[in-house]
Structures are given as C-alpha cells and as structure tokens.
Amino acid sequence: MDMGRPRAFDTDQVIGAAAALFAARGYEGTSVDDLVTATGIHRGSLYKVFGSKRSLHLAALRNHLDREIHPAAAAVAALTDPEQALTAAIASYDNGPAAGLLLLAAAERAPHDPEVAALVAEGITALEDALGPAYGDAAPRLASTVLGARLRLRALPTAPEGALTWP
C-alpha cells in the first residue's frame, strides 16, 4: 500500500473532517481543494488512501452511521413513551459534527448512486426500528415526521447544532 513512508495522519480524523465538509456544502459543492485544505493532508495521500472523492464520501457516510446514527437510534429505541421518543429522535437523529450528512446524501446522491442509496436506507431503517418500541406499526410514519423535522431544522438560518458553522 505505502512506499515505506509511514502515514503521518489519522485516517479517522481525515474522514471526520471530510464528513463535516460534505455535510456543510454537499457532495458536489465540496472540491478536492476543499478536502485537502480541511483535512490538512497531501492530495496524493488523499487519493492513495481513499481512491476517489466518491470513496471518501462513502467512508464519511459509513462513519457517520456508525458514530452518530446508530448510537442515536439505540438511545431512542430505549424510550417507550411516544412523546419522549419523538422528541429525542428529532433532537439527535443525523446530528453530531456532520449533522445533516444523511439527509443531504439522500437528496443529492442516493438517486444516482446505489451504494449511497443503500447507506441512506440503512440509516432510515435504523430510525424506523428505533421508533418501534414507542409507536409499533406507526413507526415508519413517525420516522418520516422526524426526517421532515430535521429538514426544517436545517432550513433555519440559526440551526443550533453547528451544521452551519463554516470550517
């Protein structure tokens, strides 16, 4: 893989920085120049490690699912009170340092990229399953409500979760 030179960066940190950038600017709106600047690693290393911007985006989405979406879903799944479960889901779903990455990927990339579509589906299924204990058969409908609420939160110019913080 490498040519005897040790990697002078943390791959997880690079993926995290890229995820935050993709979440703030979208996939098309993020150039390789932006990624090089935000991650602080050489362009050559970026290509060597990830292969392409698309692969880096897929890694960012995978990371966001594992670090944010699934833990948030697990916390919601522990709530059986409908009101509490809904409030917690709206507050925590698709949140974190790359808040909105899933929503954006769903709107921008999933229709053209089956691998993105599969990851988005995984995230939405996790939300539906998490709302199961509180809502039973109505969980899918409530999941749509949560997604809609997250979209409306993102549309606010003063979104509190830091999604609009410019890197």
Partner 1 sequence: MALISIDRERNLLTAEIQGLDKLWALKSRLEIPLAHVRGATHDPGIAREPKGIRVGGTHLPGVITAGRFRRHGERLFWDVKNPDKAVVIELADAETYDRLVVEVDDPRATVALIEQSIARR
* Distance from C-alpha of 155 to C-alpha of 167, rounded to nearest angstrom: 19
Residue reference for tokens 């098309």: 28
Q: Tell me the closest approach of the beta carbon of residue 27 to partner 1, in angstroms.
A: 12
Helix (H) or strand (E) holding 153: helix 139-155
Closer residue to partner 1 in complex, CB, 115/161: 115
Which one among 50, 103, 132, 143 touches partner 1, defined by CB under 8 A? 50
Q: Is the Cβ–Cβ distance between 57 and 18 less than 8 Å?
A: yes
32 binds partner 1 (CB under 8 A): yes
Three-state secondary structure string covering 85-142: HHHHHHHHCCCCCCCCHHHHHHHHCCCCCHHHHHHHHHHHHHHHHHHHHHHHHHHHHH
31 binds partner 1 (CB under 8 A): yes
Q: Tell me the closest approach of the beta carbon of residue 48 to partner 1, in angstroms.
A: 7
Task: Compute how many residues bind partner 1; rule: CB under 8 A.
Answer: 21
151 binds partner 1 (CB under 8 A): no
What does residue 8 show for φ and ψ, rounded to 5 degrees? -95, 25
Interface map 74-113 toward partner 1 (x if CB under 8 A)? --------------------------------------x-
54 binds partner 1 (CB under 8 A): yes
53 binds partner 1 (CB under 8 A): yes
6 binds partner 1 (CB under 8 A): no
